[in-house]
Amino acid sequence: MKLQNRHLLGLEGMSKDDITLILDTAESFKEVLERPIKKVPPLQGKTIVNLFFENSTRTRISFELAERRLSADVVNFTTSGSSVAKGETLKDTARNIEAMKIDMVVVRHSSAGVPHFLSRVVKANVINAGDGLHEHPTQALLDMMTLRQKYKTLEGLRVCIVGDILHSRVARSNIFGLTTMGAEVSVCGPATLIPRYIERLGVRVYHRLEDVIPHIDVLNVLRIQLERQKSGLFPSLREFHRYFGVTKEKIEKAQHPITIMHPGPINRDVELSADLADGPHSVILEQVTNGVAVRMAVLYLLGLSN
């Protein structure tokens, strides 16, 4: 078994078989993470660079742990104080990486398409760790892994992604992945934060949480970026919380348990109430654990594909 592509740039167009292979492999790695010695040798001698042009602690740590647990050598590159701050172009950065004989590149960038560009100019395997407003495939894979563990299958599962869909690469990757796996996906948020024509991706659009809650099994609550308020897309955090904040009172209207997910970091009591985040139906910490396993699976499958 082998993945179709030697890079992971996004979930758009990825086949059901490939997603299933990644999720199955990740389940096997989860067992490794429960051992006293959480390290296995398959990527011994491989060098991986984590190119983070945008700040992220969580995703970088998750990737770095996954890389080290597969016995790879890891180099971290962050933009502050680097050659990028000195005016180096992306292409030159890539060429330099190439010259240093790196085997795999994990890249995060504020512009969409950077991983795609890199995959064309370097020989290494490229993994997208988030590109602009485009995709964040490993996040969606870990979300799907978490749901598959809980519901056994994604087929027919009703998932609603709520919040700032417009600026969310997590939403886009989840929509591509979940629809491929046969789930029913909807999005919910203020009209200003929902991209036009998103229905064409096969999702239903709601503007009131009350309308969608009775018809779903899972709520994936997105982080609202506090600085968006300044751009005038929604009037105030208090108002956002009132209409789109997920709270116990709103959830109880469903009269059946709804699984709560969040990609983190949470703004407690803004997009998600604290009692739900810590409640019995929250799988937020499982998502974090599965994140390492899913990234190990992706690195393993791509790293051995050449």
Q: Is residue 152 a contact point for another protein (CB under 8 A)?
A: no
Nearest in space to 130 (alpha carbons), one of 81, 229, 58: 58
- Sequence length of the chain is 306
What one-character DSSP code corresponds to residue 226?
Answer: G
Handedness of CA 264, 290, 55, 106 (dihedral sign): negative
Q: Is residue 4 a contact point for another protein (CB under 8 A)?
A: no
Contact call for residues 170 and 221 (beta carbons, < 8 A): no
Q: Is residue 25 a contact point for another protein (CB under 8 A)?
A: yes
Q: Least CB distance from residue 296 to another protein, whole Å?
A: 10
Amino acid (1-letter code) at residue 115 = P
Contact call for residues 73 and 103 (beta carbons, < 8 A): no
Cα separation, 183 vs 179, whole angstroms = 5
x/- map, 31-70, another protein, by CB under 8 A: xx--xxx-xxxx----------------------------
x/- map, 247-266, another protein, by CB under 8 A: --------------------
Judged by beta carbon, residue 21 or residue 61, the one nearer another protein is 21
Judged by beta carbon, residue 138 or residue 273, the one nearer another protein is 138
What one-character DSSP code corresponds to residue 270?
Answer: T
Judged by beta carbon, residue 29 or residue 206, the one nearer another protein is 29
Number of residues that bind another protein (CB under 8 A): 21
Judged by beta carbon, residue 28 or residue 76, the one nearer another protein is 28
Q: Least CB distance from residue 36 to another protein, whole Å?
A: 7
Residue located via tokens 């519901």:
151
Query: Which of 4, 28, 55, 231 touches another protein (CB under 8 A)?
Result: 28
Question: DSSP letter string over 142-188?
Answer: HHHHHHHHHHS--TT-EEEEES--TT-HHHHHHHHHHHHTT-EEEEE
The interface region with another protein, picked from 26-34, 112-120, 196-204, 246-254 by CB under 8 A, is 26-34
Contact call for residues 23 and 144 (beta carbons, < 8 A): yes
Cα separation, 35 vs 40, whole angstroms = 11
Nearest in space to 213 (alpha carbons), one of 252, 177, 240, 245: 252
Judged by beta carbon, residue 72 or residue 194, the one nearer another protein is 72
Judged by beta carbon, residue 188 or residue 297, the one nearer another protein is 297
Judged by beta carbon, residue 6 or residue 158, the one nearer another protein is 6
Cα separation, 120 vs 299, whole angstroms = 19
x/- map, 277-306, another protein, by CB under 8 A: -----------------------xx--xx-
Residues that bind another protein (CB under 8 A): 1-2, 21, 24-25, 27-29, 31-32, 35-37, 39-42, 300-301, 304-305
